[in-house]
């Protein structure tokens, strides 16, 4: 079955009484809210829906996603206006469900009773970390316990759940990222999204960065931490719906995106790094005989190893700009690799055998 068409509708910072150190949404919201009334927002929503429905093609399911900001924390009148504006499409069968992102501390029984009858099916929580010390440093204004309670409450109400986490939070590190992923994976959300923290103009983190109080992760560190989180989530059966931020104009604007591990294909880098690890494991498992030991040394008579992957995973095996192939050649200088595409393999799999 084809994946659903997701219609994203962004509500920057609205509904959020906080100001996390890394957030510049208030600046964006101030610029948009000057001209925006509840009616014009509902009109904007209608325009967005109309535009996206043109691209529905043969997809059976359509989902409206309220992202950015703190949807369930919106003023009740505004929340209801947006949910009501979607109802005509739901009644006509053109939109089938609603998802939103929100802070863990806004998930109250009252708000769920209010929103669920309008077709709300999935709630993604802006968790960022499951370490209270890290949450306090970032001035998130909620605790890990809020996240735990919110996930339990959403599940008890029959809603699907998502968690959004960040690598590179102030005061966080490798172990912290692993701890966050393990703690969340044990709570069994349906999906996870992982983002690297970037330093944006207008956020307080920009001052911290300029004064040396905050040092962003390098791209390599961010990829490595994210890779560990992906492994933990997937190992626990949590689907990883997104890795890295979507490319926007802001990311290419050095005046607005000041620092941090930004890469337009961040997700690809992470998935390629995972594929490299799997390939090495497979290669090591077949290079077991005495003659194979030479494979880790430069040799004129190279061992030939076939690596098989699903056609869709070929670029991951090769890595960004073929870096994985270069690394494999460096790691196994006595091996020459032959790559084969095999439709029957899973897209996460890589299989190795020696060509005698």
Residue 295: closest CA among 267, 337, 253, 245: 337
Is 119 or 244 the residue whose CB approaches ligand SF4 more closely? 244
Residues 102-121: x/- map of binding to ligand SF4 (CB under 6 A)? -x------------------
Among positions 62-81, residues that touch ligand SF4 (CB under 6 A) are 69-70
Give min distance, CB of 105 to ligand SF4, in A: 9
CA distance 35 to 154: 34
- Residue 5 burial (CB count, 10 A): 18
Q: Are 343 and 306 in contact (CB under 8 A)?
A: no
Residue 73 main-chain phi, psi, to 5 deg = -95, 5
Least distance in Å: CB of 10 to ligand SF4?
Answer: 11
Q: Is 83 in the site for ligand SF4 (CB under 6 A)?
A: no
How far apart (Å, rounded) are the C-alpha atoms in residues 213 and 207? 8
Q: Is 161 in the site for ligand SF4 (CB under 6 A)?
A: no
Q: How far is the CB of 141 from ligand SF4 (least distance, A)?
A: 7
193 binds ligand SF4 (CB under 6 A): no
Q: What's the CA gap between 25 and 70, in Å, rounded?
A: 11
- The tokens for 314 are 């070929």
Query: 51 Cβ partners below 8 Å, 6+ apart?
Result: none
Provide the mask over 240-269, with x wherever binding to ligand SF4 is found by CB under 6 A and - wherever it is not.
Answer: ------------------------------
Class of residue 96 by CB neighbours under 10 A (exposed 0-12, middle 13-18, buried 19+): middle
What is the C-alpha to C-alpha distance for residues 188 and 161, in angstroms, rounded to an integer? 9
Per CB under 6 A, the list member of 119, 126, 170, 319 interacting with ligand SF4 is 126
Q: What is the footprint of ligand SF4 within residues 7-26 (CB under 6 A)?
A: 13, 16, 18-20, 23, 25
- Report, in Å, the least distance between residue 6 CB and ligand SF4: 20
Q: Least distance from C-beta 132 to ligand SF4, angstroms?
A: 16
CB of residue 27 to ligand SF4, shortest distance in Å: 10
Which residues sit at the interface with ligand SF4, rule CB under 6 A?
Answer: 13, 16, 18-20, 23, 25, 69-70, 103, 126
């Amino acid at each position: 079955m084809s994946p659903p068409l997701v219609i994203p509708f962004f509500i920057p910072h609205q509904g959020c009484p906080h100001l996390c150190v890394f957030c510049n949404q208030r600046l964006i919201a101030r610029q948009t809210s000057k001209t925006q009334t509840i009616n014009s927002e509902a009109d904007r929503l209608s325009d967005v829906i109309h535009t996206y429905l043109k691209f529905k093609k043969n997809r059976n399911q359509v989902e409206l996603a309220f992202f950015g900001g703190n949807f369930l924390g919106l003023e009740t009148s505004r929340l209801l206006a947006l949910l009501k504006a979607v109802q005509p499409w739901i009644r006509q069968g053109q939109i089938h469900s609603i998802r939103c992102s929100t802070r863990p501390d806004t998930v109250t029984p009252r708000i769920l009773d209010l929103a669920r009858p309008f077709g709300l099916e999935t709630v993604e929580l802006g968790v960022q970390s499951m370490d209270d010390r890290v949450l306090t440093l970032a001035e998130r204004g909620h605790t890990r316990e809020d996240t735990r309670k919110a996930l339990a409450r959403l599940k008890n109400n029959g809603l699907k759940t998502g968690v959004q986490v960040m690598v590179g939070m102030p005061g966080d590190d490798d172990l912290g990222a692993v701890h966050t992923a393990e703690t969340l994976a044990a709570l069994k959300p349906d999906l996870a999204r992982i983002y690297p923290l970037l330093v944006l103009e207008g956020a307080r983190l920009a001052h911290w960065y300029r004064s040396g109080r905050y040092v962003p992760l390098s791209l390599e560190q961010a990829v490595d931490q994210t890779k560990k989180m992906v492994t933990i989530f997937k190992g626990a059966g949590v689907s990883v719906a997104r890795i890295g931020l979507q490319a926007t104009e802001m990311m290419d604007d050095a005046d607005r995106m000041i620092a941090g591990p930004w890469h337009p294909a961040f997700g690809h880098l992470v998935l390629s790094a995972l594929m490299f690890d799997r390939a090495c494991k497979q290669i090591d498992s077949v290079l077991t005989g005495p003659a194979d030991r030479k494979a880790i040394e430069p040799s004129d008579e190279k061992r030939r190893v076939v690596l098989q992957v699903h056609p869709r995973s070929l670029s991951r095996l090769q890595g960004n700009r073929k870096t994985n192939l270069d690394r494999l050649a460096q790691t196994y200088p006595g091996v020459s690799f032959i790559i084969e595409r095999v439709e029957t393999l899973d897209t996460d799999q890589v299989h190795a055998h020696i060509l005698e």
